[in-house]
Amino acid sequence: MSEIRALNGVLEAAVYVDDLDSARRFYGDLLGLEEIMAVEGRHVFFRCGTTIVLCFIAEATRRPTQSETLPVPPHGAEGPGHICFSADGATLDGWIQRLEDGGVEIEADFNWPNGARSVYVRDPAGNSVEFAEPRLWESAA
């Protein structure tokens, strides 16, 4: 029997979107994430450091796969989700400027009780997108 070890991070995070071209413009063009894979009408995936951001059309992912070699179970969510990007505190003002220049409204910008700063916006599908200093969760350990 193999030994179970502690998990060491999140490999991928998913958001559900309405339009892949809008997701490309927001996550790829505006945020600068590298597009690594896409299936038109279903999904587009981006690399963000060591994590992959999966942008799915929920309706398409709720249909069972026809692939015997990749039997991914159906999934999909309704309503706005949430994703948080780790951003160094010194760069948050630059991100705010880039987002505003891209026509994205800042929904919230504040400091948590531990002093970490978070900035919230919405992607084109209405998902809550946060940019936060990594120390946000340091005191929660």
Q: Measured between alpha carbons, how far is residue 41 from residues 18, 21, 25, 27, 82 in Å? A: 10, 10, 16, 17, 22
- What are the structural domain ranges in the chain? 12-62+80-140
pLDDT tens by residue, 115-130: 999 999 999 999 999 9
CA 13 centroid distance within chain:
6
pLDDT tens by residue, 22-49: 999 999 999 999 999 999 999 999 999 9
Question: What share of residues in the chain are helix, strand, coil (percent, to 5)?
Answer: 25, 30, 45
Q: Is the pLDDT of residue 83 over 70?
A: yes
pLDDT score of 72 = 85
pTM, two decimal places: 0.91
> And the tokens for 56?
């799915």
Domain 12-62+80-140 indexed as CATH 3.10.180.10: yes
* Dist. CA 110–CA 117, nearest whole Å: 6
Pairing assessment for the beta strands 43-48 and 51-56 based on DSSP bridges: antiparallel
